[in-house]
A = this chain, B = another copy of it.
């Protein structure tokens, strides 16, 4: 994050000499300027499709091509009202807007700024869709909205109705959100938020952080002068600016120059440098550059992992410590149990012998029970290491059996046994844990087969298939895990999923029926995170009418890893739902937990990004409405997949991923 720079632009009401304005701004270290496309006082003739003479704006020779395409945000004439109630005005302004858009297209400006004035933007959105349909070079559209609807705020004040001014703040979010919806959440369309002197509640600010805010406009009027006469911002504004820039917003200084224009920029730079350093969080450092970048989930069962992936996983500073603690605890518990059994079995005679031996460490150790620990899916050995460490710490004797199906990883494991674990009892068994029959059976099974959404890398199926390797009463680490979801708003993630290239014809539907692993930044939680599916190991098998566990042909308990879960949330604030954030937590053993659920995230653990689970049709939700989601985990002989559906009041999304048509995990 610390590498990230603040990028500032300067807004001009009018630019009679564009080159001079740009030179001034660059001289003061601004990165770009915002300039009207045509002179504010220029009015065009009524009918534009006849007898045009010459250009209606400046020549494109005044700037270099490089400056046009990197230094200039073009502002459409703010008086244009293409959604006017008058059809004449509407048509005329539409012609003017098309003229200005066409000029922008010709110049290749990086972004076009326009101003939203209300909720009714049907025609504006329509014109912009046509602009995108007909343009090869694509400018971004920046839609400027004030943070608060001043008209509504004034009405409230007039009626001495200050208490419920919240809707004045809600209103302008609506302008933007409806506009963006009409453009089908196009990722080329972003919002430019004009900060107000007063700021709304924290909840409202957080919702803006879920929107694609391309820039914030900081009017010079909200600065005040400090003792030395320099312009500064209030604490609340400082925080907001920093938050926005952390979410990749640029900053535009706008309005009357009450100070030297350089001072504003210098202040913003200082503000940015002074901010609390987030680099202390290993996750933030690790995730830098991966923000909102969608990845297909791994399928470590169907595909073998590569060296790079192992490297990344093994570097996790937290996960293997947790495993080591859990294994140590399990060994301790087994020792206790063994001692109890031993004591119980022992005759009084034995008790006397025991007394004698208790003084002799070595012989004690020799007689100690050796616990068999199987590491299922050992990879290149981190859990073998954790097991050996745990044995050392607890002074236990262990025989470690490392089962691994990936031939490349087996090579590494074998080398480790020869070179590192020479004097330890470590055996490498190549093969699929679901198909092996080993002796002795394990006292402890250790595995790390969880995906970002818990069971989504088929840990339940793998461990059930390996259940025959565990002694009755043996311990599985992990012993329980749960998946979680929260409904989220994120035009950015949704648009990214929709547009993600998968090389198939039906890609649009496919991509919105798929789980995506992603470090989510530009999103907003509509409601709290709730549990979905739970799995436990060793599994309790299905029982028959008489309460007897049913076994399959191998004698393993018959399990059913199909699940369905229906979850409901009450909406606290008007919003648009684009999908879910998905997480998991996992009880390794005892009370040793690893978690990527935001509220309980294991500090510093970097092995998992969350998942984004999109819905095909974003749902607009109102405060007080109830979102109900149903998830199914489906299993057939060949694969596992999820299906899901969301309902709000009478509205229903289509069923997602019916029969696993778009995404599945292969068994």
Kindly supply a per-residue 1/0 record for chain A positions 487-511, scoring 1 wherever the CB is within 8 Å of any chain B CB and 0 otherwise. 0000000000000000001000000
Find out whether the CB atom of B620 lies under 8 angstroms from the CB atom of A91.
Answer: no
Given the known interface contacts A123-B564, A182-B652, A651-B620, the answer about A46 and B545 at a Cβ–Cβ threshold of 8 Å is yes
Contact assessment for B560 and A91 in the assembled complex, using a CB-CB cutoff below 8 Å: yes
Which of A134, A182, A545 has its CB near the most chain B CB atoms (within 10 A)? A182
Pick the contact of A182: B87, B129, B562, B655 (CB < 8 A): B655
A130 to B641 Cα, complex, angstroms: 12
Interface of A is mostly: mixed
Contacts A91-B560, A620-B651 supplied; 18 other A-B pairs, CB < 8 Å: A46-B544, A47-B550, A50-B550, A50-B558, A90-B564, A91-B562, A122-B655, A123-B630, A126-B645, A126-B658, A129-B658, A133-B658, A178-B650, A182-B652, A182-B654, A182-B655, A505-B505, A651-B651
A632 on interface, CB distance cutoff 8 Å = yes
> How far, in whole Å, are A643 and B123 apart by their CA atoms in the complex?
10
**Interchain Cβ contacts under 8 Å between A and B, 11 examples:** A47-B542, A47-B550, A122-B647, A126-B643, A126-B655, A129-B655, A129-B659, A130-B658, A130-B659, A617-B617, A620-B651
A544 contact from B47, B123, B126, B622, Cβ within 8 A = B47
Interface band, chain A: 35 or more
Out of B181, B560, B562, which one reaches A652, CB within 8 Å? Answer: B181
Residues 419-445 of chain A, each 1 if its beta carbon lies under 8 Å from chain B, else 0:
000000000000000000000000000
Task: Judge whether A125 is part of the interface by a CB distance below 8 angstroms.
Answer: yes
A257 CB-CB contact with B under 8 Å: no
Cβ contact within 8 Å between A564 and B47: no
Residues of B within 8 A of A652 (CB): 178, 181-182
Given known pairs A123-B564, A126-B643, the reply for A620 and B650 (CB within 8 Å) is yes
Question: With the chains together, A505 CA to B178 CA distance in Å?
Answer: 29
- CB of A552 within 8 Å of the partner chain: yes
Q: Which residue of B lies closest to A620 (CB)?
A: B650
Most buried by B among A130, A544, A617, A622: A130
A661 interface contact, C-beta 8 A: yes
**CB-CB nearest in chain B for A651:** B620
- Does A184 sit at the interface, judged by CB under 8 A? yes
Q: Chain B contacts of A133 at CB under 8 A?
A: 658-659, 661
Alpha-carbon distance A90/B632, docked complex (angstroms): 12
**Which B residues are in CB contact (< 8 Å) with A184?**
654
What are the residues of chain B within 8 A of A542 when measuring CB–CB? 47
Residue of B nearest to A542 (CB): B47
* Distance in angstroms between the alpha carbons of A650 and B576 in the assembled complex: 10
- A363–chain B nearest beta-carbon distance, Å: 51
In the bound complex, residues from chain B placing their C-beta under 8 Å from that of A50 are 550, 552, 558
Q: Mark A130-147, 1 if CB is under 8 A from B, else 0.
A: 100110000000000000
A619 — nearest CB in chain B belongs to which residue?
B651
Interface centre among A178, A652, A658 (most CB of B within 10 A): A658
Q: Which 8 A-B pairs have the closest CB atoms?
A: A133-B659, A129-B658, A130-B659, A620-B650, A122-B630, A126-B655, A184-B654, A133-B658
Contact B645 A622, beta carbon cutoff 8 Å = no
Separation of A621 and B78 alpha carbons in the complex (Å): 36
Closest chain B CB from A546 CB (angstroms): 11
Identify the closest chain B residue to A563 (Cβ): B87
Interface centre among A50, A126, A184, A505 (most CB of B within 10 A): A126
> Which residues A638-667 have CB closer than 8 A to chain B?
643, 645, 647, 650-652, 654-655, 658-659, 661
Distance in angstroms from A610 CB to nearest chain B CB is 25
**Which residue on chain B has the smallest CB distance to residue A658?**
B129
Residues of B near A552 (CB, < 8 A) are 50
- B residues less than 8 Å from A560 (CB atoms): 91
Contact among B47, B134, B505, B659 with A134 in the assembled complex (CB-CB below 8 Å): B659
A87 and B91 CA atoms in complex are apart in Å by 59
Q: Mark A552-573, 1 if CB is under 8 A from B, else 0.
A: 1000001010101000000000
For A562, what are the chain B residues with a Cβ–Cβ distance below 8 Å? 91
Q: Cβ of A647: which chain B residues have Cβ within 8 Å of it? A: 122
Q: What chain B residues lie within 8 Å of A558 (beta carbons)?
A: 47, 50
A645 interface neighbour in B134, B182, B505, B643, Cβ under 8 Å: B182
Q: In whole angstroms, what is the CA distance A560 to B564 when docked?
A: 58
CB neighbours (8 Å) of A632 from chain B are 123, 126
Q: Is the CB of A125 within 8 A of B655?
A: yes
A126-B655, A129-B655, A182-B655 in contact; A622/B650 too (CB < 8 A)?
yes
* A167 CA / B420 CA spacing, docked (Å): 76
A138 to B469, CA, bound (A): 45
Question: How distant is the Cα of A122 from the Cα of B646 in the complex, in angstroms?
Answer: 10
CA distance A123 to B184 in the complex (A): 29
Minimal Cβ-Cβ distance residue in B for A131 = B659
Using an 8 Å CB-CB cutoff, how does the interface string of A444-466 with B read, 1 for contact, 0 for none?
00000000000000000000000
Nearest-Cβ distance from residue A189 to partner chain B, whole angstroms: 13
Q: In the docked arrangement, what's the CA distance between A651 and B46, Å? A: 35
A650 to B552, CA, bound (A): 54
CB-CB < 8 A to A505: which residues of B? 505
Binary CB contact string for chain A from 517 to 541 against chain B (1 if under 8 A, 0 otherwise)? 0000000000000000000000000
CA distance A558 to B50 in the complex (A): 9
| A620 CA / B550 CA spacing, docked (Å) | 47
Could you give, for residues 111-137 of chain A, a 1 whenever the CB lies within 8 Å of some chain B CB and a 0 otherwise? 000000000001101100110011000
Quick one: closest B residue to A123, CB to CB? Answer: B564
Nearest residue, chain B, Cβ from A129: B658
Residues in B neighbouring A182, C-beta threshold 8 A: 645, 652, 654-655
Residues of chain B within 8 A of A650, CB atoms compared: 178, 620, 622
Distance of A136 from chain B, by nearest CB (Å): 14
Give Cα distance in the complex from A647 to B134, angstroms.
26
CB-nearest residue of chain B relative to A661?
B133
